[in-house]
Amino acid sequence: MNSTNHVSLATLLRRISIAAVAWSERRLDIFGLGTDSSMFHKAWDGSSWRPSPTDWESLGGVFNSPPAVVAWATNRLDVFGLGTDNSMYHKWWSNGWGPSQNDWESLGGVFNSPPEVVSWGANRLDIFGLGTDNSMYHKWWSGGWGPSQSDWESLGGVFNSPPAAVAWGPSRLDIFALGTDNSMYHKWWSGGWGPSQSDWEGLGGVFNSPPAVVSWGPNRLDVFGLGTDFSMYHKAWDGSAWRPSVTDWESLGGVFNSPPAVVSWGRNRIDIFGLGTDNSMYHKAWDGSAWRPSTTDWEPLGGTFNGAPVVVAWDQGRLDVFGLGTDNQMYHKAWDGSRWSPSGSDWEALGGVFL
């Protein structure tokens, strides 16, 4: 990987500004900040978009960061964002919005990065963010907030990117972020923090984008990021070792203008999306034996976007991809197992105007 001509992460890429999640088959929930910096929401209920194909529900608040959202059970959502004081705020859905439609629960802290949230089981949440010292901080919910409602646990390190986190089983978490050298670093929880509470494992590389990570099964991790040449790079944990090595990365080609978005809809299946230098959407998939359309080629999906993509899978063979167009409206495309809808190059408009 080329390690020269490194440029600041903050000014290079179309930023991630929206969030999406699925809590069951045929259910999608999308979140974004409106032009007033309040949170807005739309849902697909299996037959139609709510409140309508182009309208959005207001959830109040005023935010300094894009949202993060997770679902740990059917009919349960937890949404997080940084307020104007850069503290963490939280709202949840459980047959109604809590603490109310427009109010948000304060979780304290002061942060320099958007939140990252993951769940490894029912009634469990783990939230991560960079503090004002650019170290990693962590809070968890397991029937109550730990270490407390407003306190956060320090996980050490000094970072130059927001974190990416994934859970591949109960009581297992893996977190990734770029250090001040823009190399990749990793920490894991498996009944205790490894390599220690404050130390991080170095995974090499030099990157121009925050990491993206996905797991398609127990003891499997796939990590992605843009190198200094803005091509996509990949590393995998296979249960016993990092591939191609602890510090080496596999090149997947392309030249991109956004951080990657990645998802898995089943064992040995990965789908990656990013914006090319023309700000159109591009896609690559791992099918269990090879990268498609090839190791270095990417499938064009059309569109022209102002914001990095997000992607959700709610079933095998199903993908839903979202991005902000040049009008800052939300756009959507879906893969149903055999074809893209509305077409390979067209996108469905979902309305709204977002930051």
153-188 tens-digit pLDDT: 999 999 999 999 999 999 999 999 999 999 999 999
Domain CATH for 279? 2.120.10.70
Structural domain count, the chain: 1
Per-residue pLDDT at 179: 98
Higher-pLDDT residue of 13 and 249 is 249
pLDDT for 133: 98
Residue 355 located in a structural domain:
no
Is 101 a member of any domain? yes
For residue 156, the model assigns a pLDDT of 98
Q: Note whether residue 141 is domain-resident.
A: yes
Reported as a single tens digit per residue, the pLDDT across 214-230 is: 999 999 999 999 999 99
pLDDT at 5 over 70: no
Q: Is residue 2 part of a domain?
A: no
Residue 1 belongs to some domain of the structure: no
For residue 155, being part of any structural domain is answered with yes
258-303 pLDDT per residue, tens: 999 999 999 999 999 999 999 999 999 999 999 999 999 999 999 9
Give residue-wise pLDDT tens across range 181-207: 999 999 999 999 999 999 999 999 999
Over range 53-74, report the average pLDDT: 97
- Note the helical H segments in the chain: none
Q: What is the 3-state secondary structure (H, E, C) of 187-247?
A: EEECCCEECCCCCCEECCCCECCCCEEECCCCCCEEEEEEECCCCEEEEEECCCCEECCCC
Q: In b/e form, how buried is each residue of 38-76, taking b as 16+ CB within 10 angstroms?
A: ebbbbbbeeeebeeeeeebeebebebebbbbbbbbeeeb
98 falls within a domain: yes
Find the domain containing 289 and state its range.
9-349
Q: What is the pLDDT of residue 2?
A: 33
Q: pLDDT at position 7, please? A: 36
**Given a cut of 50, is residue 9 above it in pLDDT?**
no
- Categorize the per-residue pLDDT at 315 as very low, low, confident or very high, splitting at 50, 70 and 90: very high
- Beta-carbon contacts of residue 240 (< 8 Å; ≥ 6 apart): none
Kindly state whether residue 3 falls inside one of the protein's structural domains.
Answer: no
Q: What is the mean pLDDT of the chain?
A: 95
- 136 close to 186: Cβ distance less than 8 angstroms: no
Task: Kindly report the backbone phi and psi dihedral angles of residue 237, in degrees, each rounded to the nearest multiple of 5, phi listed first.
Answer: -105, 125
Q: First-to-last CA distance in the chain?
A: 33
Confidence check: pLDDT of 6 > 50:
no
Q: What is the pLDDT of residues 89-109, one digit of tens each?
A: 999 999 999 999 999 999 999
- List Cβ neighbours of 289 (8 Å cut-off, separation of 6 or more): none
CA distance 16 to 39: 15
pLDDT the model gives residue 8: 42
Q: What's the confidence (pLDDT) of residue 15?
A: 81
pLDDT at residue 191, as a whole number = 96
Res 16: pLDDT: 86
Distance (Å, whole) CA 200 – CA 287: 31
